[in-house]
Amino acid sequence: GENVEQHPSTLSVQEGDSAVIKCTYSDSASNYFPWYKQELGKRPQLIIDIRSNVGEKKDQRIAVTLNKTAKHFSLHITETQPEDSAVYFCAASSSGNNNDMRFGAGTRLTVKP
């Protein structure tokens, strides 16, 4: 089955700097890669996702890149703000259903003002 590894487990940046979180996956059949943000004490929420037919997707300060050959994808946050502080989870699944979706262990991002 799918195995998703996420690095780093913790990341601390200064406000205004960029943050990059990386994930690798094992199942070459995976073609859907969402990223969830979980603020302290709150529910995870989808912030961006990418499908395997594209290599990059941007939404304001957030971007995700996908390298299917190398089986890795990354989340990039530019101009970080204190409200970006949260735990970020990557995930991977293949078409058909979400029952094979597997999550990374999470990255705790701290943005220092």
Contacting positions for another protein (CB under 8 A): 4, 6, 9, 31-32, 34, 36, 42-46, 49, 51, 89, 93-99, 101, 103-106
CB contact at 8 A, 111 and 44: no
Cβ of residue 54: shortest distance to another protein, in angstroms?
14
Cβ of residue 28: shortest distance to another protein, in angstroms?
16
Cβ of residue 77: shortest distance to another protein, in angstroms?
19
> In angstroms, rounded to a whole number, what is the distance separating the alpha carbons of residues 43 and 74?
22
Q: What share of the chain is helix, strand, coil (3-state, %, to 5)?
A: 5, 55, 40
CB contact at 8 A, 80 and 19: yes
59/79 with CB nearer another protein: 59
